[in-house]
Amino acid sequence: MSEVTRILNAIDRGDPGAAEHLLPLVYDELRRLAAQRLAEERPGQTLQPTALVHEAYLRLVDADQATRWNSRGHFFAAAAEAMRRILVDNARRKHSLKRGGDRRRVDFDEGTLSAPEPPEDLLALDAALSKLAEKDRAAADLVQLRYFGGLTLPDAAETLGISPRTAGRLWAFARAWLRREVEGNDSRGETP
Kindly report, as residue ranges, where domains of CATH 1.10.1740 are found in the chain: 3-99
Q: What is the DSSP letter of 129?
A: H
Contact present, 52 and 87 (Cβ < 8 Å): yes
Please determine, for residue 160, whether its predicted confidence score (pLDDT) is greater than 60.
yes
Per-residue pLDDT reduced to its tens digit, 3-25 = 777 777 777 777 767 767 776 77
Per-residue pLDDT reduced to its tens digit, 42-84 = 666 677 878 888 888 788 777 555 566 666 666 777 777 788 7
H-helix or E-strand containing 53?
helix 49-60
Per-residue pLDDT reduced to its tens digit, 86-135 = 877 877 777 665 666 566 767 766 555 555 555 456 778 888 989 999 99
How many angstroms separate the CA atoms of 63 and 55, rounded? 14
How many angstroms separate the CA atoms of 75 and 33, rounded? 13
pLDDT tier, 136 (very low <50, low <70, confident <90, very high otherwise): very high
* Residue that wins the pLDDT comparison between 128 and 39: 128
CATH code of domain 122-183: 1.10.10
Specify whether domain 3-99 bears CATH 1.10.1740: yes
H-helix or E-strand containing 108?
none
Cα distances (angstroms) measured from residue 169 to each of 148, 158, 177: 19, 15, 12
How many angstroms separate the CA atoms of 157 and 162, rounded? 5
Half-sphere exposure of 181 (CA within 13 A, CB side): 23
Kindly report, as residue ranges, where domains of CATH 1.10.10 are found in the chain: 122-183
pLDDT for 98 equals: 60
